[in-house]
Structure 1
Amino acid sequence: MTSSTKQLIDTTTGAPRALSDFVMDISTCGIIIMAGVSDNCRILYVNAAFLAMTGYTEADLAGRHSWFLQIDERDQPERTVLLAAMHAARPVTVELRNYRMNGVLRWNELCITPYFDDTGSACRFVGMMTDITSRKLAAQLLSTQSSQDVLTGLANGIGLQQYLDAALINPLYRDTGLAIVTIAIDQLAVLSDSLDEEAIDTLARVVAERLQSCITTGEIVARTRSDSYTLVLHTGKRLDTAARCQALQRALGQPIPLATQAIYLTCSIGLAMFPEDQCDSAYLLKYAGMALTQARQTGRNNQVFYSASMSQQLHDRTVMESALSNAVRNRELSVLYQPQVNLTSGEVSGAEALVRWHHPALGDVPSKQFVALAEETGLINDIGLWVLERVCLDLATCHVTGMPKVPVAINVSPVQLRDPQLADQITAFLATSSLEPALLTLEITEAAVLEDDELTRTTLARLHRMGIGLALDDFGTGFSSLSYLRRFPFKTVKIDRSFIHDLTGNPDDAAIIKAIISMAHTLGIAVVADGVETEAQCHFLRDNMCDDIQGHLFSPAVSADGFNALMISGLSMPEHLRAPPKKLRTLLLVDDEVNMVSSLKRLLRRDDYHILTANSGAEGLAILAAHPVDVILSDQRMPGMTGVEFLSIAKTRFPRTVRLVLSGYTELQSVTDAVNEGAIYKFLTKPWDDAKLRGHIQEAFHRKELADDNRRLTREVYAVNLGLAAANRQQQELLGLRQEQITRDASSLHIVREAMRHIPIAVLAIDDSDMIAFINDAAARMLPQRGMLLGGDARYLLPEIVRHLTPPGQQPPRPHPVELDGQFLLLGTHLMGQGSSSSGWLVTLTPDPQRMPAS
Structure 2
Amino acid sequence: MTHPSEPRADDASATQRLRSQLFDLAPVGLCLLVAGQPQLVNRRFARMLGGDGRETELGPSDLLRRWPALWPQLHNMGDEHRVVAFERPGFAAFNGRAFSRPIKALGEQREIITLVDAAQLNWMRFSSDWQARMLALTESMSHTGSAELDLDSGQAVASRGLAALLGHPDLGGVQKAWRLLRWVPQEERGYVASIWAAAIDDEPFEFQHRLQTRDGQRLEVLHRGMVEVSPDGHRRGYMTLQNITAQRAAEQRIQELANHDEVTGLPNRKQLLDRIDAAVHAASWDPRSFALLSIQIDPIDQLSQAMGYGAGDALAMAVAARLKALGGADTLVARVGSGEFALLLGEAESTSPEALQQIARRVIESLARPERLGFAEIVPLAQIGVASFPCDAQSASQLLEAAQTARLGVHGTGEQIAFFTPEITAQAMRRLAIESGLRHAIEREELRLQFQLQIDLQSGQALGAEVLLAWHSETLGEVAPEEFLPVARQTGLIVSLGDWQRETACALLQRWMGQGLRPLRLALNHSVLQLQQPDLVAKVQRSLLSHGVPAHLLGMEVAEQAVMAGSADVARKLTELRALGIEIALDDFGTGYSNLSQLRRLPVDVLKVHRSCVPDVTAASGAVSLTRAIINLAHSLQMQVLAEGVETDGQLTLLMANGCDRMQGTAFSPVVSAATLEAQLRDEPPRLPEHLLRRPRERTLLLVDDEPNIVSALKRLFRRDGYRIITAASGQEGLQRMAEYEVDVVLSDQRMPGMTGVEFLRRAKELYPDTVRMVLSGYTELQSITDAVNEGAIYRFLTKPWDDERLRVHVQEGFHQKGLADENRRLAHEVRQAGEELTTVNARLEKILSSQQAQIDLEEARATQARDMMDLLPLPAVAVDNQGLVVMVNLEAQALFGPGPLLGQNADSALPPSLARLWQTTADAAPDSATLTRIDLTLPGGAWQAQARRFGPASAAGWLLVLNPVAPPTLAGATAHG
Give TM class, smaller chain. 0.5 to 0.7
Residue 343 (structure 2) aligned to one of 213, 231, 240 = 231
C-alpha separation between the residues in 1 aligned to 2:658 and 2:880? 60
Q: Aligned residue pairs: how many? A: 723
Contact 2:773–2:796 (CA under 8 A) maintained in structure 1: no
Distance 2:543 2:509 in 1: 12
* Match in the other structure for 1:580: 695
My pick for the range that moved more, 244-253 or 750-759, is 750-759
2:382 counterpart (263, 268, 288): 268
Q: How does 1:158-173 map to 2 (within 5 A)?
A: 158-171=270-283
Give the drift of 1:466: 3.4
Query: Which residue matches 2:663?
Result: 549
Contact kept in structure 2, 1:521 and 1:722, CA below 8 Å: no
- Distance change (3 Å), C-alpha of 1:139 and 1:445: closer
Report the Cα offset of residue 386 of structure 1.
Answer: 3.5
Kindly provide the CA deviation profile for residues 618-660 of structure 1, in whole angstroms up to 9, marking residues without a partner as x.
Answer: 666667667776534325275x655545555555556636342
State the match for 1:458 in structure 2. Answer: 572
CA distance in 2, matches of 1:397, 1:670: 65
Q: Label 1:854 to 1:330 Cα distance change in 2 as closer, same or farther (>3 A).
A: farther
Q: Residues 729, 534 of structure 1: CA spacing in aligned structure 2 closer, same or farther, 3 A cutoff?
A: farther
> Does residue 360 in structure 1 map to residue 470 in structure 2?
no
Name the % identity.
28
Aligned pair partner of 1:520 in 616, 634, 642: 634
Match of residue 317, structure 1, among 431, 455, 460: 431
Q: How does 1:388-467 map to 2 (within 5 A)?
A: 388-404=502-518, 407-451=521-565, 453-467=567-581
Q: Contact 1:471–1:491 (CA<8 Å) still a contact in 2? A: yes
For 1:694, give the aligned amino acid.
D
CA distance in 1, matches of 2:287, 2:950: 101
Residues 524 and 726, structure 1, Cα contact 8 Å, conserved in 2 = no
Give the C-alpha shift of residue 672 in structure 1.
3.2
Normalised to the residue count of structure 1, the TM-score between the two structures is 0.63
Q: Write the distance in 1 (CA, Å) between the matches of 2:376 and 2:644.
A: 45
User: Offset at 1:498?
Assistant: 2.8
Match of 2:812 in 1: 702
Counterpart Cα distance in 2 of 1:341 and 1:202: 47
Whole-angstrom distance in 2 between the partners of 1:549 and 1:767: 73
Separation of aligned partners in 2, 1:280 and 1:562: 55
For 1:436, the aligned partner's letter is P
Say if 2:356 is the partner of 1:241: yes
The answer to whether the 8 Å contact 1:523/1:729 transfers is no
Q: In structure 1, list runs of 5 or more residues that go unmatched.
A: 1-24, 27-51, 62-133, 814-820, 834-838, 846-850
For the structure 1 residues 628 and 166, does the alpha-carbon distance in structure 2 shift closer, same or farther, using more than 3 Å as the test?
A: same
Whether the 8 Å CA contact 1:444–1:472 is kept in 2: the answer is yes
Q: Spell out, residue by residue over 1:650-692, the C-alpha distance to the aligned partner (whole angstroms, 9 max, x if none).
A: 55556636342423x544334433444444455455xx44xx3
Select the residue among 394, 398, 406 that pairs with 1:279.
394
Q: For the residues of structure 1 that align with 2:896 and 2:618, how far apart are their CA atoms?
A: 89
Letter in 1 for 2:623: D
3-state SS in 2 of match to 1:170: helix
TM-fit CA distance, 1:351: 0.7
Tell me by how many angstroms 1:730 deviates.
6.3
Distance 1:717 1:278, change over 3 A: farther
Structure 1 distance, partners of 2:516, 2:867, is 59
1:631 aligned residue (736, 746, 756): 746
* 1:283 match: secondary structure: helix
Q: 2:172 matched to which residue of 1?
A: none
| Whole-angstrom distance in 2 between the partners of 1:210 and 1:514 | 43
Task: Write the distance in 2 (CA, Å) between the matches of 1:486 and 1:261.
Answer: 22
Describe the SS at the equivalent of 1:179: strand
* Distance in 2 separating the partners of 1:343 and 1:732: 32
Alpha carbons of structure 1 residues 617 and 719: separation in structure 2 relative to 1, 3 Å: closer
1:119-138 matches, within 5 Å, as: none
Letter in 2 for 1:286: E
Q: Deviations over 1:496-532 (max 9, x none)?
A: 3332243652322322232233333334433333344
CA distance in 2, matches of 1:605, 1:340: 43
Aligned-residue offset at 1:164: 0.7
Q: CA deviation at 1:284?
A: 1.9
Measure, in 2, the Cα distance between the counterparts of 1:143 and 1:378.
35
Q: Does residue 460 of structure 2 align to residue 350 of structure 1?
A: no
Alignment partners' CA distance in 2, 1:801 and 1:534 = 89
Counterpart among 594, 597, 604 of residue 708 in structure 2? 597
Asked whether the equivalents of residues 443 and 470 of structure 1 are also in contact (C-alpha less than 8 Å), the reply is yes
Label 1:359 to 1:153 Cα distance change in 2 as closer, same or farther (>3 A).
closer
The whole-number CA distance in structure 1 between the counterparts of 2:764 and 2:714 is 24
User: Could you tell me how far apart the structure 2 residues matched to 1:454 and 1:225 are?
Assistant: 28
Question: Is contact 2:439-2:493 (8 Å) kept?
Answer: yes
* TM-score normalised by the chain length of structure 2: 0.56
Per-residue CA deviations over 1:314-347 (Å, capped at 9, x if unaligned) read 3333222333333333334444454444433x25
Cα distance change, pair 331–139 in 1 and its aligned pair in 2 (3 A): closer
Q: Residue 753 and residue 462 in structure 1: after superposition, are their counterparts in 2 closer, same or farther (change >3 A)? A: farther
The answer to whether the Cα contact below 8 Å between 1:337 and 1:352 also exists between their aligned partners in 2 is yes
Query: Structure 1 pair 287/397, CA: closer, same or farther in 2 (3 Å)?
Result: same
Cα 1:146–1:550, aligned 2, differ >3 Å: closer, same or farther? closer
CA spacing shift, 1:510–1:589, aligned 2, 3 Å: closer
Deviations 1:346-405 (A, max 9, x none): 253621341321313455544455444433333333333444343444334333444447
The one-letter code sitting in structure 2 at the alignment partner of 1:548 is R
Cα-Cα RMSD: 6.5
2:491 alignment counterpart: 377
Contact 1:339 1:348 in 2 (8 A): no
Q: Which residue of 2 aligns with 1:65?
A: none
Q: 1:659 to 1:413 in 2, by over 3 A?
A: same
Amino acid at match of 2:469: R
Deviates more, 1:701-710 or 1:185-194: 185-194
After alignment, is 463-472 or 740-749 more displaced? Answer: 740-749
C-alpha separation between the residues in 1 aligned to 2:345 and 2:920?
A: 101
**Residue correspondence of structure 1 range 665-676 to structure 2 within 5 A:** 665-676=779-790
CA separation in 2, counterparts of 1:570 and 1:540?
24
Look up the SS of the partner of 1:277 in the other structure: coil
3-state SS in 1 of match to 2:469:
strand
716 and 611 in structure 1: CA distance in 2 versus 1, 3 angstrom threshold: closer
Match of residue 777 from structure 2 = 662
User: Equivalent residue for 2:444?
Assistant: 330
Residue of structure 1 aligned with 2:611, choices 497, 520, 525? 497
- The correspondence for 1:509, drawn from 623, 631, 639, is 623
Q: Tell me, in whole angstroms, the C-alpha distance in 1 between the residues paired with 2:411 and 2:896.
A: 85
Is the contact between residue 585 and residue 605 of structure 2 (CA under 8 Å) also seen in structure 1? Answer: yes
Q: What does the per-residue CA deviation read over 1:756-788, in whole Å, with 9 as the maximum and x for residues that have no partner? A: 9999xx999x9999999999xxx999999999x
Seen in structure 2, the aligned counterparts of structure 1 residues 768 and 587 have a Cα distance that, compared at 3 Å, is same
**Higher relative contact order at CA 8 Å, sep ≥6: structure 1 or structure 2?**
1
